[in-house]
Amino acid sequence: MNIQSNKLISGINKSLILLIAIISIGAHAQNNRDKDQELIIDVDPSTHCAINVAPADHESNCSLLYSVDKNPCKHDPECVCSKKEKYISWQTSTGDGFDIHFTDGSPFKRCEYSAGRDGEVRCKIKNDGDYYYEINVQGCATNPYDPRIVVK
């Protein structure tokens, strides 16, 4: 009888450990999907102009937040998706200073849109919507670069 009791307790313990592991994996997946975005502005060192804006981890979370048929950024590689109350930060690959200008409204309530040399802009999202913005890198003589943010 004692051996059966030990086997039962051992089975219950294994089941509880498995349940905790499954819950932890689910929570981690949800957290990754809704994570803050760190964006790197790739700057051409000779012209000091932005040539690309991409997540620092090279992973688009739009496919995690939306199904394939509802992904608002599926044909726009420079679009990032996020949610309210998350942060988006930008910094340049070369350490150049830069400014960000939203052309028609902003997903942020209060934000300092300028960064000096080796600086970053970090803002907390407050508004839903689809936002185009311009990046002006100090020393660039051509037109600004214009990526996009989608907040749902």
Burial status of residue 89 (CB atoms within 10 A of its CB: 0-12, 13-18, 19 or more): middle
What CATH number belongs to 36-151?
2.60.40.420
Q: What are the pLDDT digits (tens) for 16-57?
A: 564 454 554 444 444 444 689 999 999 999 999 999 998 898
pLDDT for residue 146 is more than 80:
yes
Domain ranges of the chain: 1-33, 36-151
* Choice between 8 and 103, residue whose per-residue pLDDT is larger: 103
Higher pLDDT, 137 or 11: 137
- pLDDT by residue (tens digit) across 90-135? 999 999 999 999 989 999 988 999 999 999 999 999 999 999 999 9
Average pLDDT score over residue span 131-147: 91
Q: How confident is the model at residue 6 (pLDDT cuts 50, 70, 90)?
A: low
Predicted TM-score (pTM) of the model is 0.74
Q: What is the pLDDT of residue 11?
A: 66
CA–CA–CA angle 131, 133, 33 (5° rounding): 55
Burial 107-123 (b: 16+ CB within 10 A, else e): bbeebebebeeebebeb
| Mean pLDDT score, 127-150 | 91
